[in-house]
Amino acid sequence: MANLISPHGSSVLNPLYVSDVEARVELAEEAERLPSIVVSSATAANAVMLGAAYFNPLTGYMTRDDALGVAREMRTTSGVFWPTPVLNLVESAEGFGVGDRIALRDPNVAGNPVLAIQTVEAIETFSEDEMREMTEAVYRTTDMEHPGVAAFNAQGRVAISGPIQVLNYSYFKTDFPETFRTAVEIRKEIGERGWQKVVAFQTRNPMHRAHEELCRMAMERLGADGLVIHMLLGKLKPGDIPAPVRDAAIRTMVELYFPPNTVMITGYGFDMLYAGPREAVLHAIFRQNMGATHLIVGRDHAGVGDYYGAFDAQTIFDEIPDDALEIEIFRADHTAYSKKLNKVVMMCEAPDHTKEDFVLLSGTRVREMLSNGEAPPPEFSRPEVAKILIEHYQSQRG
């Protein structure tokens, strides 16, 4: 068995999912007798990540002081390095108190089944100033047009903190049985494959030629044994390509264009924060937990609109303490197909090129072409991938 990178903050992973079937049945019965709340989608996503051990070593939802510490200094009160608050925020906590156990119901599944049971250790209210301070620190803006800012501030001001026991993985296991994997499962498979040096690639989009070649470049330059394409399966902003379409496009690309047994295609259940640099650090933490030694961080990683500088998600790794993380990042520039060299290159590594020497298409232009049934040039997108995307866009036109 390969000797893998350590999880973040502990020697072994601590998944909060209750894997023992009898214990889970007992907890499900207990849950029916407990006070219950339908939580926000963000809180449900946090539960899934805690259950799957991606958020190791956290044991539940943060207190007010933990969340403020994380916002201000990227540390919880006990000193755990963490970049974003992990909260159960509600409008009101009526009907239960400190010391009670409560059932957390899933907002994203019909009938709102119980997702987790929480032991309430504290119920605290953030002031408007504290919410603003956390928002500014994590998202670098308080603009409500920012989808992450809007989602964070829509949940309420009351934080219910305390440990949780997770009973299921929401809709992710059922909707994405081939793709959803826990950190425990990915770490185990990496070990079984004997991979030592493992590159993780984060995506919420289908992968074009530039992404494909970037992964290949990272693997070659790092001498990696394998690549884990790890796609976000949770809530996105309107207009983003749905996960099943992305999944099909990525599987087709890997099958046709990567050597066998060099790529794992997996996904995780989380709602995108669009928090740019802070979210890049969160991405690094949970990739370390799943056993990756390197994470590719490209231009505007986890960003949205013009809220972040092109390389802010890379430079934040120069600002965090040296001992904060074991995982390393592979810094990527914009990649594009060079007509001069007949291959995809990082643009910063082709100083003798002008813009005209590259095949460059805006996201808007690509969407237009696909909607019109027109495949982008093969230098931009593999024809087999373009076909899947054309079918999706044309079905949207109805």
Q: Which residue has the tokens 């950190």?
A: 183
The active-site residue, picked from 112, 157, 205, 367, is 205
- The answer to whether 204 is a known catalytic residue is yes
Q: In this structure, how many other beta carbons lie within 10 angstroms of the beta carbon of residue 58?
A: 23
Token digits of residue 157: 């001001």
- Tell me which H or E stretch contains 114: strand 114-119
Token digits of residue 40: 């926000």
3-state secondary structure of 66: helix
Q: What is the DSSP letter of 137?
A: H
Cβ density class 244-278: b for 16+ within 10 Å, e for less: ebbbbbbbbbbeebbeeebbbbbbbbbbbbbbbbb
Give the Cα separation of 374 and 67 in Å (integer).
Answer: 48
**Which of these, 185, 189, 157, lies nearest to 91 by C-alpha position?**
157
Give the Cα separation of 226 and 26 in Å (integer).
Answer: 40
- The answer to whether 331 is a known catalytic residue is no
Which residues are known to be catalytic? 204-205
